[in-house]
Amino acid sequence: MKKIYVLDTSVLLQSPNAVLGFQDNLIVLPGCVLEELDNMKKAADYEIRANTRWVARFLDQLRAQGELNQGVALPNGGELRVEMNCIDNNTDLPCSWPGDKRDNRILAVAKNLQKTKQPVIIVTRDVFLRIKADVIGVPAQDYRNEQVEFDIDEQYRGWEEQDVPEELIDRIYSQGQLSWNGKPNPINKFFLLKAEGSAQKTALARYRDGRMVLLKDTRPDFFGFKLNLLQKYAREALRDDSIPMVTLMGATGSGKTLLSLGVGLEKILDESVYRRMLICRPNVSMGEEIGFLPGDEKEKIAPYMRPIYDNLEQLVDSHPDRYDNEHELDGKVAYLFATRKIVTEAIAYLQGRSIVGQYILIDEAQNLTPKQAKGIITRAGEGTKIVLVGDPEQINNPFLDSRTNGLSWAVEKMKGSPLHAHITLTETKRSNLAMEAARLMK
């Protein structure tokens, strides 16, 4: 029996092509959803405006095929209908629930559709709407087509400890690599190989093409900072020019941004591998629209880039030739921007570009949608490296969570590709206070 899926506005704002994601079933859009979409045409958020326009154009094309309130065939074999019976609140909703409230009008549609004896399911990103649907006996679910399968604690970490015979440790140090006959692993997964019976005898390696390859760079120092095990893995992935995409997850203070910026500076200033570093943060388009701020492009996005400046100051000031005063330090950081060795842009401005020979750093990538993440990654031209860093437990976008954000989605989709490496950092090293707060304030 075909099912009836009632879609909420939140689903279409996150993924406008969701109407094509339910096979040959009936998709119902309540009239109040169209009203809310109409109100979103001039939303401050660029992504929301773009998604709203996509839905509008798609529905307009369907309208040419027939009457939407009677049902129109979808390209994937399903059917879409706009349902207006929520105007009459003659349903089994609790009398204390206002009939003119949007969520209640959606619930009214679902309750009335249940009278057809077909299975009716509300699809929404709104947790409270799902709870209210459960109260009145209407099945409800999150939109699952653009979410990873696992909770954040179960997601791919990019590294693992492995006990091996002691002779394998000796062999990998003598040969630089060894054939691996153990269980298959995603390419570019990192390992701490530990000798059986001798915990002090270890090797840091990366799995590649059926082999364990010894890490090239295990130095503990990085711009004056001491790196832990996972940060060494991250540095290895960032420094490897054969891996054009790196994703880093970790809590606040775990060193994600600092490592990414530091390696970028090395690759641009010392090795001339890339022309420049391009830095973007999705906060620019997720919060207040960039166009509402005064000044030119650089001045508009400057408030969003202050965490980047903070990290650059740490890296520059950690140089052996430390700067004696703030003015000298500011001048050195400003020089990097003045010479366009580092460029900052709003994510909205990446659309339609082909970026060649650059080191692209997307900070706070957990606030990307899957669509945005794909759009950014597909901007990479030849000789470009893309680094996405973020913490899926620190999401500001109201339409995203730890399963549906673009960073988690990109990690799962790219896992196992030879062009991608991922590391989840687990230790906070910002300060003793930050470490203590991360441990106690869970």
CATH homologous superfamily of 228-440 equals P-loop containing nucleotide triphosphate hydrolases (3.40.50.300)
Per DSSP, 253 falls in state: T
The domain limits of the chain are 4-141, 228-440
Identify the CATH homologous superfamily for domain 4-141: 5'-nuclease (3.40.50.1010)
Q: How far is CA 21 from CA 139, 238, 372, 414, in A?
A: 18, 36, 18, 21
Q: What is the mean pLDDT of residues 329-342?
A: 88
Q: Does 88 have pLDDT greater than 60?
A: no
Whether the predicted pLDDT of 415 surpasses 90: yes
| Average pLDDT in the chain | 86
Q: How many whole angstroms separate alpha carbon 195 and alpha carbon 211?
A: 17
In this predicted model, what pLDDT tens digit does every residue of 15-44 receive, in sequence order? Answer: 888 888 888 899 999 999 999 999 998 887
pLDDT of the residue at 244: 97
Q: Using the predicted structure, report yes or no on whether residue 289 has a pLDDT greater than 50.
A: no
Average pLDDT over residues 151-162: 85
- Say which range, 106-120, 154-168, 277-291, has the weakest mean pLDDT: 277-291
Band (282; pLDDT cuts 50, 70, 90): confident
Backbone angles phi, psi at 187, to 5 degrees: -60, 140
- The residue with greater pLDDT, 136 or 400, is 136
- The reported pLDDT for the residue numbered 7 is 95
Matching CATH topology for 4-141 and 228-440? yes
Q: Is the pLDDT of residue 300 over 60?
A: no
- H-type alpha helices, 179-255: 229-239
The answer to whether the predicted template modeling score (pTM) of the entire model surpasses 0.85 is: no
pLDDT of 213 higher than 90:
yes
pLDDT > 70: percent of the chain: 89
Any idea which residue has 């059917």 for tokens? 79
What is the percent of the chain with per-residue pLDDT over 90, rounded to a whole number? 54
Coarse DSSP helix, strand, coil percentages of the chain, rounded to the nearest 5 percent:
40, 20, 40
Please give the distance of CA 91 from its chain centroid, rounded to a whole number: 40
Surface-to-core class of residue 247, CB atoms within 10 Å of its CB (0-12 exposed, 13-18 middle, 19+ buried): buried
